[in-house]
Amino acid sequence: MASLLGEHLFQMSGQGPPPQKDFFQLLINKNEVIWRSWKISVRLDSKGAAPKEQKTSHDNFLHQKTLQQQVGAVFGQRILEYTRSLCQGKFDYLERLPDDIVLRILSYVELKDVRLLAQISQRFRKLCNSEKFWEQTVKNRCAEFTNDMEGIANAMGWRRMYFTFFHTSVVKAQQ
């Protein structure tokens, strides 16, 4: 599983909370945490100020309360907790899997559970609602699906195709 870890474990950037207009970047790689900030100001004394960069090891980050407070203030508590987890060696391998592999795994999950998986993250919501997911669902779970029906599914949408034709036939068969 370690091969799923790229050089960069996590990266996020954005503007800090008001009233500041400063811009921040958090980059976590295999060995260190990098915190960059750019001062954004119309004041003459700040004009042309160089970006600041602070690099620290994972272990040092876990002991630097000031840096942790900055990360939490800019990106929120959830990102701070995720950063701490990465620094402690707790990797979320499921989030690192390529989309095609996740979609393949989802094809074996009960549809009632897919609804719950869609609540895990934005990425999973996107995948669970994707046309690719619903195409796999129709093709893998609907024995009466034919190649002639593929054109109809492409035109009307795979999700709609599933719920219009196949889900209703399953319900009728159960009655």
Q: Do 18 and 36 have their domain in common? A: yes
Q: Give residue 45's domain range.
A: 2-94
Torsion of CA 34, 99, 116, 161, to 10 degrees: 150
What is the average pLDDT across 130-149? 85
Do 74 and 128 lie in a common domain? Answer: no
Q: What angle do CA 69, 70, 76 make, to 5 degrees?
A: 80
Residue with tokens 């009655």: 175
8-state DSSP, 54: E
The residue with tokens 């050089």 is: 7
Once rounded to an integer, what is the mean pLDDT over residues 59-86?
A: 95
Same domain, 78 and 123: no
- Identify whether residues 114 and 53 lie together within a single domain: no
Domain harbouring 149, CATH code: 1.20.1280
Residues 113 and 52 in one domain: no
Average pLDDT over residues 74-101: 89
pLDDT of residue 76: 93
Least confident piece of the model among 24-28, 61-65, 111-115: 111-115
- Domain boundary (32, 66, 94) is at 94
Task: Give yes or no for a contact between 35 and 48, defined as CB atoms under 8 angstroms apart.
Answer: no
Alpha helices in 108-147 (DSSP H): 111-117, 122-128, 131-141
For the stretch 6-42, pLDDT in tens is 678 889 999 998 887 899 999 999 899 999 999 887 7
Same domain, 86 and 16: yes
Render 80-113 in DSSP notation, one character per residue. HHHHHHHHTT---HHHHS-HHHHHHHHTTS-HHH
- Per the model's pLDDT, the better-predicted residue between 119 and 94 turns out to be 119
Give the per-residue pLDDT at 41. 72
